Structures are given as structure tokens and as C-alpha cells.
Structure 1
Amino acid sequence: MGFFLKLFCFCFLIIIFHVFVIATPVFSHSNNNNNERSSSSISSKFLDLAKSPEVFDWMVKIRRKIHEYPELVYEEYKTSEVIRAELDKLGISYKHPVAETGVIGYIGTGNAPFVALRADIDGLPIQEMVEWEHKSKVDGKMHACGHDAHTAMLLGAAKILKHHEYHIKGTVVLVFQPAEEGGAGAKRVLKEGVLDKVSAIFGLHVAHVLPVGHVASKAGPLMAGSGSFHASIHGKGGHAAMPQFAIDPVLAASSIVLNLQHLVSREADPLDPQVVTVANFHGDGAFNVIPDSVTIGGTFRAFSRQSLTRLKDRIQQVITGQAAVYQCTAEVDFHEDQRPLYPATINDDKLHEHFVDVAKNVVGNMNVHEMQPVTVSEDFSFYQEALPGYFFMLGMQSLGAEPLATLHSPHFTVNEDALPYGAALHASLATNYLLKHDYGTAKVGGKYHDEL
């Protein structure tokens, strides 16, 4: 889930492991018996179809094809071609280009209600270290976050939904989104107006520590909002043996790093989780030379827009203020022209009830878990600022197998046994949402369908 281009730290792995392994089953009961029976019937049928060789083998083939040729943010031209070719074969109409390389597909009546399903399609600037037949053929680029699997699963859902289009009482919008990894592709998709009629959107992410056939999520804040910063601290270089003739930017930068930690430990509400991390510190020069300048960079995270904005303002003040204390100057860049502040991923309460109701029919009641919030970020959050949205984690760890490598690792692999579950969940969430929000009898292909 992820957008930031760095490996997760060991401590974060421990937190994620704790979140998923001790997660507790969620139980939910529908108030509408007819809808519940329809939901159960649809979900069971969709999972069986997704596991059939016709659909499963097809998804695996697509996933591996995309994996071999990963593309970075707003460069997903070949990936987009693969998606469009498959939609053409399925007879699914679409818009392209959207947000440079994105594809928006449509299944159903073409009329309201509209519900969207989203998959991200970009890779990462990481050299793949996994030796297998379908290893990345592009040096320095890899699908290390499962976006190839996300794309294959949404296409799998599209195949199932198109085959059952007469069941769809409304329109399913397929969002193949570019530039999740730091490019805020979701924001650009929204700006182009292609989701203006959509009343809800669903998205998922593979989880390497959650078992295959299990899902996890929660209502409310799920993932943190985030921003990044880069600062240059300027002093006056000199010989390390005569510091009195220099203005030391290393000392100023060191003080800045320490004082930034106080923003969370001394200023943030302990009940409002926040993070400020300085992840790099660089100064040119030999061991006996005080450099002219030092650069630092890092990230900040919070679960509300207010807290995120406060952290940004205070980071600016601390860096420039501490630099001045040491007779240095500083410039701070938050890169908002390239990467705007990501809002927190906040799941809609009613969509959470819908997710639990549908998911228990797809994967079983005991395999639907509630998870604790995590401080990674996801640009799906931009959709959730504009319309009700729901994001969840899909397990892919086989019981008894070697643990899978973490996201954004050069050793990351996808357990393809998870693909049918993602496809079936996508198809079931959309179909059942439209069943519950049908504005009247749907007309498909000139015929009216009142019931499944």
C-alpha cells in the first residue's frame, strides 16, 4: 500500500505482523434477508468462477506479462496497452487516456447508480532480486508493491462482471489508475471528472502477512496522510581543525533533526498518532573539512488534515529557526508541485458494513478481520475526500510456507493463489452495492431484469 519509494523498516514489519496476526473476526448481519440471500448467492458464484482455470489462468498470465515490463509513474504506456487490449477482447467500453496513462472502463446499463473499483498500475524504481521465469526485464524497475496483481484482479472482476452484465442494476466503473507511488494519480483522475457520477468506490491492497483467503480493514481512519520535505542548510565551510573560522551547517542540521522530534513527543496529542522522520542527512567533504551546506529530508504523517498541516508549518519553523540559531540559513521544500499532501485513508462507515456483509460471503465469516490503523499512506485517500470510499487488505501468505518479503523489497513476490479472492471480492462488492442502491428496474440489452 503504499506510495513512498523506500523499504519498510523492521519495526514497521513487527507492527504490521501484530495487526494482522492477532486481528479478530468481524461479524455483521444484514437487515434485509432477500439482499443477504442474493449477496451470498452472487459471492459464492463469483469466487467459484474466479478460481476456474478459464479466469484464474488468464489472470496469472496477465499478471506475469505486466510484471515483466514495469513502468514508473505516468509512464505506464505498455501496461495501459495490455489493459485496453484485454478490455477490447471482453467487449468492455472505456475512456483513455485519463491522467496520462489511466484507463476507465464501464460495465452495466450506463445509467445510475455508479460504483467504482480501483486498481493502481505503476511499478517502482527497484532492481528485482527474485530469480524466476517472469522476472522484470527492465533494469532498475520492478513491481514490488503488487500493483501487477491489483491490475490482474480488477481485470478478472471485469471478466466475471461482463459475463453477468444482465445482473448489474447500474454501472460498474473500472479505474485503472496510474502513479500511485508518489505521483498522486488518484487526484488527477478526479480532476478529469470521470468519477463525477460515482456514489462509492472500493480498492484493495495485497498484504504479505495476512493468509490467503483472509481480508482485513476497519471503519474510519485506516492509513495516515503524509507529506515529505527536503531542506538545505547553508553555512560557511572551513578546516575542521579551525571551526572558529567556519559556520558549521552540520551542527545546525544535527540540532534541527533533534528538535523535529519534539514536534511529536512534546506538541502532538498522544491520542492523535503522528510521525516525523528524518530519513536522510548528507554533507559533502572530507573527514577534516566542514562543508558549506548540508541537506536533510524526511516524511511526516498524521490521521487528520489539521494535524498534517500543523506538522508542515512547524517543520518549516523549526528548520529555519534552528538554522538561524547557528548563524546558518535554510530553505525547505515540501515538493507539493510534484507530490501534494496525501490525506488520510478514512473508510466510510456504511461501506464498512457493506464490505463485511459481502466479504463474509466470499471468504467466510472467520476470515474477515478488523485491523488497527497504520501510518503508511495510500493515494486512494484522494477518492475518499471526494466521495464515499472503502479500502481493504487482501491476504496472500500461504500457511506453512516461507514468509513473503515485505512490500517495496527487491525480494517481493506475489502469491497468485490470492488472485481469485481479489477478483471475486471486487465483483461482489460492486454487484451487491448496485443491488442495494438500485434506483429502479435496470434495462440491459433491451430487456428488463427485476431479479437475479
Structure 2
Amino acid sequence: MDSCSVAHVHQLLLFLSLASFCAVLSSGYLIHDSYAEEILSAAHQDKDWLISVRRRIHEYPELAFQEHNTSALIRTELDKLGIPYTYPLARTGIVAQIGSGSRPIVALRADMDALPLQELVEWSHKSKIEGRMHACGHDAHTTMLLGAAKLLNQRKHRLQGTVRLLFQPAEEGTAGALQMIKDGALKDAEAIFAVHVDYKTPTGAIASISGPFSAAGCIFVAKMIGKGGHAAEPNRNVDPVLATSFAILALQQLVSRESDPLYSIVLSITYVKASVALNVIPSYVEFGGTLRSQTTEGMYHFRQRIKEVIEAQAAAHRCSAHVDMKEETFAPYPAVVNDNKLHLHVKRVGQLLLGPENVREAKRVMAGEDFAFYQQVIPGAMFGIGIGNEEVGSVHSPHSPFFFLDEGVLPIGAALHTAIAELYLEDNQHSFVQ
């Protein structure tokens, strides 16, 4: 073959390679140059509406399984948009659906409940319900998902499958996700995504991680029962205060002596309660706290050890003990463990919409999240969305009475939800016969 023919072959191969590369781009994340601008622009056009929705939810916070007004607001907005939904699931939950109704099916989840906390931030849309506050950003999660519903509905002709939107009650300690699953919220969905506001990440950025993200956790209460009497005659009594003290110290030794140093375990005694008489040994002492583990297996192992240690210390000090893990009202939460493929999807979409410099590696946290229940059924990924902004005072941690939200996050979250779902369907539609 002469040099001219070789050159032509090289040019042809180069052309085919470029054509193949462009084809991949056109069928994947970089659909066209204006894709990110298109979605972000549409989301920002809805910013005033999003802020209005969020403030209405924030002013009237509702606790677990009591989110009746919040649920009604969401349904009213879905009705205006003409988006079909199923209600109720888990008492107050809603599942809306947009797209063809066929597979692939991807789910997006937002939690709706507030906390029994008095808001101490003075602003015009402060909670109007005494002793209740949206101090964990669930009002923002709900608003961002509702914003995504609007955008996805506008773009439903592009959806190559189905997006299922889960508006979930009772995340805060009462496992609303578990009830949503039992009521059929997931059905044949194959993947699920969720965001959580993150005050340590600046507004306009996200943080994601593969593998363990948040901890498995449970609560416990114990009653150490002895024999009360006058403090001047301890020999005639059976002291539950002493037994409780030894039990608490022994529980802390579980972490230092029985847990793998490479895995995080946090065991916290958060209250101790006995009589207040200074000259009387009480007949019993109540105490309790929380257990958190980086792994679900670790949490279940140490739940059992907590019971064994308390009962053994009671016996050693001539007391009896009753340990209650409160499973009926506070189900143990598994650990949130992000699927690597879905984490990479979040990362790529985030880079596309926000730029590579605004996609960060998330730090693992020892807080619990009932999103983990969904991940026990299908692959899932939860990521943090930044709300950090000193100028507006969005610098306080969740569950603080001073928690405040940078509302600039709302259109960003709506756009991210939209792109994550839309591009997931496009990337996975070849896996199913339509």
C-alpha cells in the first residue's frame, strides 16, 4: 500500500473515531452544548414560585405522619400541573409519575416532616406553630422535588422511560420510608436518588460519595431496678445509681474494646433520670441513648451487646434491668450505602450542570437517614446539596433552632433532580425492550 493510501486510511479511521465519539456524546450526558443552560434557566424562571412553596411549608411545619397540610399543598400543585399521582401511601405520602409509564423507571425521593423544635431565627416566614420547626431542610427537599416535577412535566416528551416522585412522610426517627415501601411506592423502579441539604458545602455545589455515607442507628432506653431507702444506710438498700454508673462505663468500653478501629461506632448516653431527693437512694434509675455504626451489621451486633452489658451489670450489683430498643416506634435505621454506578452518575450530572469545580467528595456522617431502607430494595444514591452562605446566615447545622436555609439552592436542586432522572433514563433505556 502506498503512502497516499495509508494516509487516506488514517483519515478514515480518524473520521470514524470522531463520529463514534460524537454519537456517544449525543446519546449520553452531553446531549448538546446548551443542555445545562436550558435546564438551569428553566429552573431559575421558577425561583419565585419555589420560594413561595417552600415558605408556605416552612411556616406550618408538621411532625411525622401528620403532614396533612403539606401533603395537600403538594397535591394541589400536582393537580395544577396535570401530573397524576397516588395518595395516600404511608398515611400522608404521595407518589407521582411522569413519562411513558414503561421501563426504565427511576425514582426521586423527598421527605416532608419537621422536628419538635422551637425556631429561634427571627424572620418574616418563621414557623407559626409553637414548638415545631423545619430544622433539617425537609421543606427544601419537598420544594426541590416539586420543582423537578414541573420541569420534568414540561420536558416529558424527552423522557425515555418513567420518573417516579416519592413525597415521603416521617423520616425523622419513625421510618416513613419503610412504610412507603410496604405500600408499594417503589414497585418496579430500578434505581432511586435523593438529596439532603448540606450547610458545610457552599450553595451552588454538591458533595457525593460511593459506599457508606450515613450511619446505621437505633435508640434504647433502660431501667435499672434496685431497692430504695435512706442514704445513711446503703447496706440496707440495693443501689441502682451505682449499677447504672458501672453500666454506662462498660457501654463506652464496647466502643474502645470490641469495635474494629477502622469502622466508626458512636454510643451516646443522652439522659439519666432518677429521684431528686439528696438523702434517698432511689429504687430505680432510667437512662438511654443512641447507637450509631458505619455498617448495618455493626449496629445489630452492638444492639445485642448493649442489652447483655446492662443486664450483666445489673446482676453484678444485685439489681434487675429492663432494656427496650423501642423498635415498634423507632425502627433501627440501616446505613446509607451509595451504589457506585449511581454515585458516578450524580457526579457526572453535577459536573455537567454546575461545573467540575462544584462537585466535591462527600464526608461520611454518623447521622441516620431512612433513605437506607430504599437501598435495601434497589440501588440508590443520596448526595449533599450545598446551602452554605454566610451572607444570609445559612451556617448552622440541621436540628439546630438557628438552622436557616439559603433559598438560592431551590432552583439548583430542582434542575439537578430533573437532569439526574432524565439522563439516567436516556443512559439506561437500551436495557429494556420498549
Same topology, TM > 0.5: yes
Aligned to 2:4: none
Counting only pairs closer than 5 Å after superposition, residues 427-438 of structure 1 correspond to structure 2 as 427-438=418-429
Unaligned runs of 5+ in 1: 1-28, 444-452
Query: Deviation per CA, 1:110-146, whole angstroms, max 9, x where unpaired?
Result: 1111101110000010111111111111111111111
Q: Distance in 2 between matches of 1:442 and 1:309?
A: 41
Residues 208 and 347 in structure 2, CA contact (< 8 A), matched pair in contact too: no
Q: Distance in 1 between matches of 2:22 and 2:312?
A: 56
Counterpart code for 2:388: Q
Residue number among 125, 136, 158 corresponding to 2:127 in the alignment: 136
Unaligned runs of 5+ in 2: 1-20
TM-score (normalizing by structure 1): 0.89
Residue number among 105, 125, 139 corresponding to 2:96 in the alignment: 105
Corresponding position: 1:33 with 2:34? no
Q: How far did residue 261 of structure 1 move?
A: 0.6
Q: Distance in 2 between matches of 1:418 and 1:146?
A: 11
Of 172-181 and 236-245, the range deviating more from structure 2: 236-245
Of 406-415 and 35-44, the range deviating more from structure 2: 35-44
Q: How far did residue 400 of structure 1 move?
A: 5.3
Aligned to 1:405: 396
Counting only pairs closer than 5 Å after superposition, residues 2-401 of structure 1 correspond to structure 2 as 32-34=24-26, 35-38=28-31, 41-52=34-45, 55-398=46-389
Counterpart code for 2:106: V
Count of paired positions: 413
Question: 2:31 is paired with a residue of what secondary structure?
Answer: helix
Q: Distance in 2 between matches of 1:315 and 1:439?
A: 49
Distance 1:201 1:212, change over 3 A: same
Instruction: Note the aligned Cα RMSD (angstroms).
Output: 1.8
Counterpart code for 1:139: E
Counterpart code for 1:162: N
Q: Distance in 2 between matches of 1:32 and 1:225?
A: 39
Query: Deviation per CA, 1:336-373, whole angstroms, max 9, x where unpaired?
Result: 11121100000001101111110101111011001221
Of 61-70 and 283-292, the range deviating more from structure 2: 283-292
Query: Deviation per CA, 1:144-197, whole angstroms, max 9, x where unpaired?
Result: 111111111101111111111101111110100000001100011111122121
Residue number among 405, 408, 411 corresponding to 1:417 in the alignment: 408
Q: Distance in 1 between matches of 2:32 and 2:429?
A: 14
Q: Distance in 1 between matches of 2:244 and 2:314?
A: 7
Q: How far did residue 275 of structure 1 move?
A: 1.3
Question: 1:37 is paired with a residue of what secondary structure?
Answer: coil
Distance 1:75 1:401, change over 3 A: closer
Q: How far did residue 402 of structure 1 move?
A: 4.4
Larger Rg: 2
Q: Distance in 2 between matches of 1:150 and 1:442?
A: 33
Q: Distance in 2 between matches of 1:285 and 1:31?
A: 75
Q: Distance in 2 between matches of 1:404 and 1:219?
A: 26
Q: Distance in 1 between matches of 2:426 and 2:218?
A: 39
Query: Deviation per CA, 1:221-261, whole angstroms, max 9, x where unpaired?
Result: 01110011000000011111221111110110010100001
Question: 1:312 is paired with a residue of what secondary structure?
Answer: helix
TM-score (normalizing by structure 2): 0.92
Q: Distance in 2 between matches of 1:279 and 1:325?
A: 23
Q: How far did residue 439 of structure 1 move?
A: 4.1
Distance 1:182 1:124, change over 3 A: same
Residues 104 and 432 in structure 2, CA contact (< 8 A), matched pair in contact too: no
Distance 1:97 1:37, change over 3 A: same
Greater length-normalized contact order (CA 8 Å, ≥ 6 residues apart)? 1
Q: Distance in 1 between matches of 2:80 and 2:363?
A: 41
Residues 30 and 36 in structure 1, CA contact (< 8 A), matched pair in contact too: no
Question: 2:318 is paired with a residue of what secondary structure?
Answer: coil
